Amino acid sequence: MNFKSTIGLEVHFELKTKSKIFSPSPVTYGADPNTATNVIDWGYPGVLPMVNKDVYRLGIMVALATHAHILPQTHFDRKNYFYPDNPKAYQITQFFQPLARDGYVEVEVHGKKKRIGIHEMHIEEDAGKNTHGTNGFSYVDLNRQGVPLLEVVSEPDMSDPDEAYAYLEKLRKIVQFTGASDVKMEEGSMRVDTNISIRPAGQEKLGTKVEMKNLNSFEHVRQSLAYEEKRQQQVLLSGGRVQMSTRRFDENTGKTYLERVKEGASDYRYFPEPDIPPYKIKQSWVDEIAKTLPESPMDRRKRYIDEYGLKPVDADVLLQTKESSDFFDSTVKAGGDPVLAANWLNTQVNGYLNDHRLELADVKLTPEHLAAMIKLIKDGTISSKIAKKVFAETIANGTDPKQYVEAKGMVQLSDVSVLGPMVTKVVDDNPQSVEDFKNGKDRAIGYLVGQIMKQTRGKANPKLVNKLLNEELNKR
């Protein structure tokens, strides 16, 4: 029997604001427990939420980048439940009127293009964090309480784990390029919950949904969905029934385990948050935000390939992060040749970053310096061999390439009146090489170039030396 899978994803993004969504406490990562909190985060008697308007702005950016329809009026609602990391015993979220609806992203899987719908996206506050000590005590850290989140709920449009993976990759990239979120799975600024059901091919009615929460990586999303597909198939084939439940994925075994069975939907007693008036989102404001929206990764890719003539693979490497793409754009803007800039970024710069386990933001290399170096290579001032030395210095110490090259006397020797006599002398001194050349041994010329290089301590313009040697040898 054949089965069809139906997959939907709920992705939470932490929105990149300075302060929390409803309180002036700073948004931090890795601070000492409960140091980034105030009475609002603690849910003290008498406190009230004040919306950080930047949250709307960042949410609107993501909505625009995913072609979603932004609602003209949005409001917050309360989701009621007791838990120690939830100090008010309700989460302020958007249930009845979310920020935006009906968006989509386009993915390409197995060579086929597909549009994955976004059902809605809403703004909400994050909860604190519970940790369980070995001493019998549990601890609550409210630093994360009130960090703004944007939850993006997909339509159940994905029909296999690879599509889910592709959707996540694409969505992450789109959100990352808006600058609205750091999208770091490892720091929790991007979190994924999945829903999957299967049904026999030909059956209309959807199967029973199984949910998996807090998956650590896209790969785990793919693995857990693939495991669930098989598990649910086996359940159905053996005449069983899939339970509506939440399951946990164990990355060590690659299997999923039952966490809790859901008997009907939980009752969160949603109702409109009376402490926050409904908020009208004016089209003029949306238009203003649209103007500040950075170019999407899809548009950048097109520009890199069509305008700059980059190979698709090089464009994709540059577009892996917004930082590298921005760095590339700035380098080109500063006058660096796009193809050379892409090559340098994707090979030398990435190599350096990998070797030293650094991020682009951590090194002293600037787009202006990289552009300057590329210019020196292009106009023949330095050889690519010299360039590697210059690069090492620039990326390590932030030294200006042009000044460095001049100070160190690294300028390439391209003067024919100096190189000419040297070439004549080298050919005179090496009759054997002349003989070899005449006998068609191309290697001979390499040896002669090496001699010139040795004499000029690497500064001779290799192209020019080659040309002069060929001319000289052909004369003999």
Partner 1 sequence: MDYLTENIDSLNQKLAAGTVSADELLQASLDQIDAHKNLNAWITVDKDAKPDADLDFKASKLAGVPIAIKDNIVTKGLRTTAASHILDNFVPVYDATVIKRLHKAQATIFGKTNMDEFAMGSSNENSYFGLVRNPWNLDHVPGGSSGGSAAAIASGDVVAALGSDTGGSIRQPAAFNGIFGIKPTYGRVSRWGLIAFGSSLDQIGVLTKRVRDAAEVLNVIAGPDDHDATVSERPVPDFTAALGKDVKGLRVAVPKEYMSDAVDADVRAAVQKQIDALQAAGAIINEVTLPYTKYVVPTYYLIASSEASSNLQRYDGIRYGFRAKDTKNLMDVYLKSRSEGFGEEVKRRIMLGSFALSAGYYDAYFMQASRVRTLICRDFDNIFKDNDVIVGPTTTTPAFKIGEEIQDPVKMYNNDILTISANLAGLPAASVPAGLSDDGLPVGFQIMGQRFDEAHVFQTADFIECSNKFYQQKPAGLED
The DSSP letter of residue 271 is E
Closer by beta carbon to partner 1, 142 or else 353: 142
Among 219, 106, 229, 216, CA closest to 159:
229
Q: Is 271 in the site for partner 1 (CB under 8 A)?
A: yes
Which residue, 32 or 267, has its beta carbon nearer to partner 1?
267
278 binds partner 1 (CB under 8 A): no
Nearer to partner 1, 24 or 309 (CB): 24
Q: Which is nearer to partner 1, 277 or 421 (CB)?
A: 277
Is residue 277 a contact point for partner 1 (CB under 8 A)? yes
Q: Is the dihedral of CA 59, 63, 64, 69 positive or negative?
A: negative
Find out whether 79 and 62 touch, Cβ atoms under 8 Å: no
Nearest approach, Cβ of residue 90 and partner 1 (Å)? 5
Q: Which is nearer to partner 1, 47 or 235 (CB)?
A: 47
Contact region for partner 1 (CB under 8 A) — 269-277, 329-337, 376-384, 439-447?
269-277
Q: In 3D, which of 165, 171, 193 has the Cα closest to residue 183? A: 171
- Of the ranges 119-127, 201-209, 220-228, 262-270, which one interacts with partner 1 (CB under 8 A)? 262-270
Q: Does 45 bind partner 1 (CB under 8 A)?
A: yes
Task: Give the total residue count for the chain.
Answer: 476
User: Which residues have C-beta within 8 Å of that of residue 81, sequence separation ≥ 6?
Assistant: 89, 90, 91, 266, 268
DSSP secondary structure code for residue 347 in this structure: I
Nearer to partner 1, 1 or 48 (CB): 48
| Binding flag, residue 355, partner 1 (CB under 8 A) | no
On the CB side of 173, how many CA atoms lie within 13 Å of its CA?
24
- Mention every residue, 6+ apart, whose C-beta is less than 8 A from residue 429: none
Residue 148 CB, shortest distance to partner 1, in Å, is 16
| Token pair belonging to 407 | 């100070």
Using an 8 Å Cβ cutoff, are 212 and 224 in contact?
A: yes
Q: CB 359 → partner 1: shortest distance, Å?
A: 37
- Judged by beta carbon, residue 3 or residue 139, the one nearer partner 1 is 139
| The only residue of 276, 286, 434, 445 in contact with partner 1, by rule CB under 8 A | 276
Task: Tokens for 72, please give them.
Answer: 């003209």
At 172, list the tokens.
Answer: 């992450």
Q: CB neighbours of 230 closer than 8 A, spacing ≥ 6?
A: none
Provide the mask over 23-42, with x wherever binding to partner 1 is found by CB under 8 A and - wherever it is not: ----------------x--x
Among 20, 61, 71, 78, binds partner 1 (CB under 8 A): 78
Residue 54 touches partner 1, criterion: CB under 8 A:
no
CA atoms within 13 A on the CB side of 128: 27
CB 225 to partner 1: min, Å: 29
Assess 267 for contact with partner 1 (CB under 8 A).
yes
Closest approach of partner 1 to the CB of residue 78, in Å: 5
Residue 1 three-state SS: coil
Give the three-state DSSP class for 204.
Answer: coil
Q: What is the DSSP secondary structure assignment for residue 19, as one 8-state letter?
A: B
Among 3, 6, 31, 43, binds partner 1 (CB under 8 A): 43
Q: Does 46 bind partner 1 (CB under 8 A)?
A: yes
Question: CB within 8 A of 274, min separation 6: which ones?
Answer: none
In the complex, least distance from residue 128 CB atom to partner 1, rounded to whole angstroms: 11
Per-residue b or e along 336-373, where b marks 16 or more CB atoms closer than 10 Å to that residue's CB: bbbebbbbbbbebbbebbeeeeeeeeebebbbbbbbbb
**Piece in contact with partner 1 (CB under 8 A), picked from 44-52, 218-226, 249-257, 341-349:** 44-52
Q: Taking Cα atoms as reference points, which of 298, 395, 407, 390 lies closest to residue 345?
A: 395
Applying CB under 8 A, which part among 12-20, 103-111, 236-244, 268-276 lies near partner 1? 268-276
Nearer to partner 1, 201 or 265 (CB): 265
When the beta carbons of 43 and 117 are compared against partner 1, the nearer one is 43
Spatial contact of 143 and 37, defined as CB atoms under 8 Å apart? yes
Shortest reach from residue 86's CB to partner 1, in Å: 9
Quick one: 244 or 334, whose CB is closer to partner 1? 244
Residue 204 engages partner 1 in binding (rule: CB under 8 A): no
Using CB under 8 A, which of 19, 31, 47, 293 touches partner 1? 47
**Least Cβ distance, residue 48 to partner 1 (angstroms):** 5
- Which residue type is seen at 64? L
- Contact positions vs partner 1 (CB under 8 A): 39, 42-51, 78, 80, 82, 84, 87-90, 138, 140, 265, 267, 269-271, 274-277
